[in-house]
Structure 1
């Protein structure tokens, strides 16, 4: 399909539509042998584009409206300290990732989000000038490829997220900003409501939470952000892209502090039924951009798309194959399996 003018992210959200985000990339690609655990850097966009392309395509087929560029941790300082022995530059990764995301997004009615994440430079220097220069360099790479909007993700200090938003808003693109924080606030103890206010005042059009903690915990945090905005008389769209694992401990460190992280998280994985519950609770909380982060596989994204299919007015193509809410089980040869169709809903 040739690239054509699509309705933008704010057009969709302003109209009250539900936007389904895509899922996680670094952990899924690490499990497939394309990303190094611990470093979590995205050289695979250049080294193994077919793997990244396929994961994009599976998320699109599952019902995602947005394809994020595989550019997590793609700042030059992070690539350097992670031992980027292949000498692939951040610009090469950013541009290749944009091309892959655009190629797949054009296969459906999806938008491309150029994504930036936290930088080692912030914790090391706390230099606004240096950190903003890093974000400016990434932004310039993305603008060469004309992405649809920006997402600031996986930032646990609101100050750094503010700086990122301020840089990205110098473009004409909408900006979403998601923090990986708990209901207790960011790593400096700034409460979620105050974080949201600061992000919107910095220029963010969409605010929310991503990664580190399970979906229901993240919903609690977004609710606190929403309340903070309301108390301040500010408005912004809400988004959520949580962890795809159960983390009932709900500590500030999130899942990285669990003994199972990162190689034994399978026993904590969300089921598709868990994700149906999450999508419904997120929608009921007023969140209209609903996706996932680490641990969210394509079938989880499909569960989101199915749960909000009535609100969206359609099902993703994948549901025609597997049968909404297990209805296809009615064709099973075992009667006790067929009987499950009656209690699934």
Structure 2
């Protein structure tokens, strides 16, 4: 029987979670940037199942149902609100199938809802209703726990947590917030305080995800670790954000100066060294729920798994440049020695 989320933490384990399905399906040509709605679940379910399997092969210990931005508001944006339950249930069943076959956990997934307005009672009520139905579907389809993620405000994060507690049948909740270019939530609350309050309200894990890359997310992890006891979560985007451009939304093209978000971010992808920095920082700070968000790939997940001391099947294919003719230490023919030197020594 698969060990549950809470038992893993009780046993001192670190959980690796592979996310980032939205951007990966944009890259593969099966999801529209801008709308960012996971229609691929309905139109090409075999590809979603394959990505679940690919991420597990790379080291993810959780199959996250691809219901991110699959809520009623987003489905209405693209004129497919009638398919909202179909999309959610199909995605949850697919994730459950892969989790059962791979002895991993399966998580339901709630996300921020652009309808939400803390000063509008009707908008709050509608947001609560959307969270409620997604939580109920996740519970009925056998989720092991439920994620609520990418909330810019503590208020909306707390609504998601309340829905999980009220309708989730006791399933653990993992709630993460997305920092903007500011150093606090939209309410002006430090993230350490927000994390502590979410855990006091009953979240099994609280933390941050999305928006920021490793270098600009790590400071929040230190803040949260000081403020919170128990497991905290970190899932940065896989783009090299900087103090000058702390979120992916304001990264600019190096040539044109135009904003890159969301389909022109490739030039800002993290190096493997950046992923290693993140993994090592998590180990030093004491983060136990670790993953990667937008821009993630199976290669990044495999590298992070290795840094965390895990041994997924994909490590068989780990890079070994000693077997490449340019970087081998072995003797080459005169011809290939010439080729090697031609690559390594550009003309002035």
TM range (shorter): 0.7 to 0.9
TM-score, length-normalised on structure 2? Answer: 0.86
Q: Distance in 2 between matches of 1:159 and 1:55?
A: 33
Q: Note the 1:233-272 alignment, pairs <5 A.
A: 235-249=229-243, 254-258=247-251, 259-272=259-272
Which residue pairs with 1:96 in the alignment?
90
| TM-aligned CA distance change 1:250 to 1:191, over 3 Å | farther
Q: Distance in 2 between matches of 1:212 and 1:266?
A: 15
Q: Distance in 2 between matches of 1:92 and 1:121?
A: 21
Q: Indicate conservation of the 8 Å contact 1:114/1:147, yes or no.
A: yes
Q: Distance in 1 between matches of 2:201 and 2:244?
A: 28
Q: Indicate conservation of the 8 Å contact 2:73/2:81, yes or no.
A: no
Aligned-residue offset at 1:224: 1.1
Which residue pairs with 1:34 in the alignment?
30
Aligned-residue offset at 1:88: 4.7
Aligned-residue offset at 1:333: 3.3
Q: Distance in 1 between matches of 2:63 and 2:305?
A: 15
Which residue pairs with 2:216 in the alignment?
217
Which residue pairs with 2:322 in the alignment?
330
- Secondary structure at 1:150 match in 2: strand
| TM-aligned CA distance change 1:117 to 1:95, over 3 Å | same
Aligned-residue offset at 1:176: 0.5
Which residue pairs with 2:111 in the alignment?
117
Aligned-residue offset at 1:197: 2.0
Q: Indicate conservation of the 8 Å contact 2:215/2:278, yes or no.
A: yes
Structure 2 alignment gaps of length 5 or more:
252-258, 331-348
Q: Distance in 1 between matches of 2:244 and 2:52?
A: 30
Q: Distance in 1 between matches of 2:83 and 2:186?
A: 30
User: Can you list the C-alpha shifts for 1:78-114, whole angstroms capped at 9, x where unaligned?
Assistant: 221x223x55522111101111211222232210110
Aligned-residue offset at 1:236: 3.0
Q: Distance in 2 between matches of 1:107 and 1:217?
A: 36
Structure 1 alignment gaps of length 5 or more:
230-234, 340-345
User: Can you list the C-alpha shifts for 1:54-84, whole angstroms capped at 9, x where unaligned?
Assistant: 111110000110111101112212221x223
Q: Distance in 1 between matches of 2:91 and 2:285?
A: 33
Match status 1:298 vs 2:298: yes
- Secondary structure at 1:38 match in 2: coil
- Secondary structure at 1:106 match in 2: helix
RMSD: 1.9
| TM-aligned CA distance change 1:224 to 1:90, over 3 Å | same
- Secondary structure at 1:21 match in 2: strand
User: Can you list the C-alpha shifts for 1:262-284, whole angstroms capped at 9, x where unaligned?
Assistant: 12211110122321221111111
Aligned-residue offset at 1:131: 2.1
Q: Distance in 1 between matches of 2:163 and 2:151?
A: 15
Match status 1:200 vs 2:192: no
Larger gyration radius, structure 1 or structure 2: 2
User: Can you list the C-alpha shifts for 1:171-216, whole angstroms capped at 9, x where unaligned?
Assistant: 2101001100157111222111221122112211101111100113
Which residue pairs with 2:176 in the alignment?
178
Which residue pairs with 2:155 in the alignment?
159
Q: Indicate conservation of the 8 Å contact 2:161/2:175, yes or no.
A: yes
Q: Indicate conservation of the 8 Å contact 2:236/2:293, yes or no.
A: yes
Structure 1 window deviating more from structure 2 (190-199 vs 86-95): it is 86-95
Match status 1:76 vs 2:75: no
Q: Distance in 1 between matches of 2:293 and 2:190?
A: 22
How many residues align structurally?
A: 318
Match status 1:288 vs 2:280: no
- Secondary structure at 2:101 match in 1: coil
User: Can you list the C-alpha shifts for 1:272-324, whole angstroms capped at 9, x where unaligned?
Assistant: 23212211111111001111000011100000111112xx4xx111111x23x
Q: Indicate conservation of the 8 Å contact 1:42/1:71, yes or no.
A: yes
